[in-house]
Structure 1
């Protein structure tokens, strides 16, 4: 029987936080030493108007990315989220922690950590509070808050950012971004996954990840690929954007295309593809590097994704298409240059941490049991 309880706090702002939370929960549970509960903090512990934040973020990211960039940068320089969010989150967090009685709270989110730290400290039960970062580089100050017992950073540069924002150096270790166990297991007969979609397993296959936001820029980029005369086929992951999936399915193009919603075998699809075209989400890049699939970034949300992209470019792990025409050209060049694809894949694998979730889970429980 497990004696420890772990509460993992996330939000459906983008898709990466949920993926990271699930990866951590699975590895904590796999130890047999603790049980986990996930909390979608804005929707399950918040009250109006913060309950609107996930949808508001999606709309800003999708339609007004420059407005989001202004909010992001203003917060990075000036705004402190603790006093802003406390009136709308504190009571819900109190109720949740009183009900779940966790021994450890883990956040994979920025912004809310100051409020969580206050609530945990106010309980007086000795509950630990840790933060696991999911951005690679140039992180936002909202990740760091007084009262956090420990941080897990994905890179040394993210660790230095935490220190610059006031975190004590001895409270930060560097492990990686947690990804699901499927990304640490070799995929067999990967090309069969392509054939199962009704596509040609022998044809050059491009996997396109639209991200949870599915911005107009992303849609136009993928539509341009579909209209190109490249000798290739396209698999598009639309996530929860059913409207986008319907639009792509109804849109004629020269390139054979399959549009999918949420899938639970993304590791298989990445390994089955010759090229990944994606946004620069931190968790998505971590998964891609683990899969060994060469990556082209085609759309960047100003703010957190800009840091992720810069880190990946600095390490030669992605190609970056700044516009639609450049995207088609880069994809065409990579299709015809297996040596360059291999270099990209090798650089990505050098950054990969496929066992990060298991290592982080072990560290979390070791610190908890040590007291």
Structure 2
């Protein structure tokens, strides 16, 4: 039988009187809020001979859509596999616990991605270990105590990082508190092929890599082979479950059941030459001699409402649907996909066996995704809307064999069970530790001797 215990308010006040002088105001407010919300956030304590619910903290940031998507996929897989055995928190600790500039990484990332050369310089300029070690140490000097307070709020037994900047500082905090051997810390890399070196930390219990190429890179940065598992990219569990057949999905989605379909993605922010590509497809997929379409177009605009409104106002010669969600259904109903080289979309498309036309990539972490797809025969790369439209038209008419072959190659490359393999391995790590005792998180006064 498990019991629940809450630190009394008077005791909490005494703790802050003793060591709270080193804690930021935001951290104290947040910790006080957690105590006041004890009905929701109270942490279960372990009695002798009893197993308590384990707390899992997933560290992410909304710098691009992939980190949150992977975090939520892991959360959902834990809940499906283990139910109430684990309590899962998906949190952006930088945003919640720290100040500028870390609490605005999302805005800074969007700005740099719009100015890709700036992002390219930032990505490659911080790649050398001596450079990123310096700036991570500087971050820790300013915000380690805030991160510590954030960890105290959730008291995790297991920490899962799905972001390259969320290894070093949390691991420093655990080391300072003497908890590295008590708290399980794993990293799930969400970049498919090329990735930043800050992903790699030799002190993690596990490093989950989406590909062999990433695993090889990690070995050069001090990660041992015994720490590495290559399971694939964690994709939402709904992509791993059985779906309706393509014919049934087209009926449900009110698509033309006779025409092949291409799915045009704009990315999470509607990035890419979506409008030009859509217009080019409208021309190439319309047979002027027979005056009838040879294909249909589904457009996903992400969060770009202006783009969606513009496309909906146009007069189309071919069936056009979209501006919607339910990605697993749309992918299951289509025959190929046009997208930028985001790792999540690529992994989802491979699971559905969709040949991929990559039309753009973010320098740095997405560049390697292009050869990953092309060299494995699962797609092609072109930035030209006209070339894209020509390829799709050929796939739907004179080169159907090529389309079929690429679909088969995509399925060979797919790793649909990756997210379940990851959570099962983490569960095994927890079981190897035996019944997890209550983790003695505490506030400390200084991190200077640890960092410098």
- Taking the aligned partners of 2:247 and 2:147, their CA distance within structure 1 comes to 46
SS in 2 for 1:124: coil
Which range is displaced more, 331-340 or 184-193? 184-193
Equivalent residue, structure 2, for 1:240: 303
Equivalent in 415, 418, 423 of residue 361 of structure 1: 423
- Taking the aligned partners of 2:367 and 2:307, their CA distance within structure 1 comes to 24
Equivalent residue, structure 2, for 1:224: 280
Change (3 A) 1:22 1:50: same
Trace 1:18-97 onto structure 2 (pairs within 5 A). Answer: 18-29=68-79, 30-32=81-83, 33-61=85-113, 63-77=114-128, 79-80=131-132, 81-86=135-140, 89-97=143-151
CA distances 1:101-145 after superposition (whole Å, capped 9, x unpaired):
110100111122111211232333421211011222232212112
- Taking the aligned partners of 1:199 and 1:105, their CA distance within structure 2 comes to 43
Equivalent in 117, 122, 126 of residue 176 of structure 2: 122
Change (3 A) 1:246 1:121: farther
- Taking the aligned partners of 2:69 and 2:122, their CA distance within structure 1 comes to 25
Equivalent residue, structure 2, for 1:319: 380
**Would the aligned equivalents of 1:295 and 1:318 in 2 still touch at CA under 8 Å?**
yes
- Taking the aligned partners of 1:88 and 1:273, their CA distance within structure 2 comes to 50
| Structure 1 gap ranges (5+) | none
1:307 aligns with 2:368: yes
Aligned residue pairs total 368
Trace 1:256-295 onto structure 2 (pairs within 5 A). Answer: 256-261=319-324, 263=325, 265-295=326-356
CA distances 1:328-354 after superposition (whole Å, capped 9, x unpaired):
111112122221111111111111111
- Taking the aligned partners of 2:264 and 2:346, their CA distance within structure 1 comes to 13
Change (3 A) 1:247 1:119: farther
Equivalent in 334, 357, 360 of residue 296 of structure 1: 357
Trace 1:151-230 onto structure 2 (pairs within 5 A). Answer: 151-226=207-282, 228-230=284-286
Change (3 A) 1:271 1:229: closer
Shift of 1:270: 0.4
- Taking the aligned partners of 2:184 and 2:396, their CA distance within structure 1 comes to 49
Equivalent residue, structure 1, for 2:40: none
CA distances 1:265-289 after superposition (whole Å, capped 9, x unpaired):
2111101001111111112111111
SS in 2 for 1:105: strand
- Taking the aligned partners of 2:209 and 2:148, their CA distance within structure 1 comes to 27
Which range is displaced more, 210-219 or 172-181? 210-219
**Would the aligned equivalents of 1:298 and 1:322 in 2 still touch at CA under 8 Å?**
yes
Which range is displaced more, 287-296 or 200-209? 200-209
- Taking the aligned partners of 1:215 and 1:292, their CA distance within structure 2 comes to 23
Shift of 1:223: 4.2
**Would the aligned equivalents of 1:6 and 1:36 in 2 still touch at CA under 8 Å?**
yes
- Taking the aligned partners of 2:372 and 2:138, their CA distance within structure 1 comes to 31
**Would the aligned equivalents of 2:60 and 2:166 in 1 still touch at CA under 8 Å?**
no
- Taking the aligned partners of 2:124 and 2:392, their CA distance within structure 1 comes to 32
Supply the RMSD in Å over aligned alpha carbons.
Answer: 2.2
Which range is displaced more, 270-279 or 228-237? 228-237
Change (3 A) 1:14 1:218: farther
**Would the aligned equivalents of 1:59 and 1:213 in 2 still touch at CA under 8 Å?**
no
SS in 2 for 1:95: helix
Question: What is the TM-score of this pair, normalised by structure 1?
Answer: 0.91
SS in 1 for 2:359: strand
Change (3 A) 1:59 1:259: farther
CA distances 1:54-109 after superposition (whole Å, capped 9, x unpaired):
12212332x32222122111122363051243356534422221011110100111
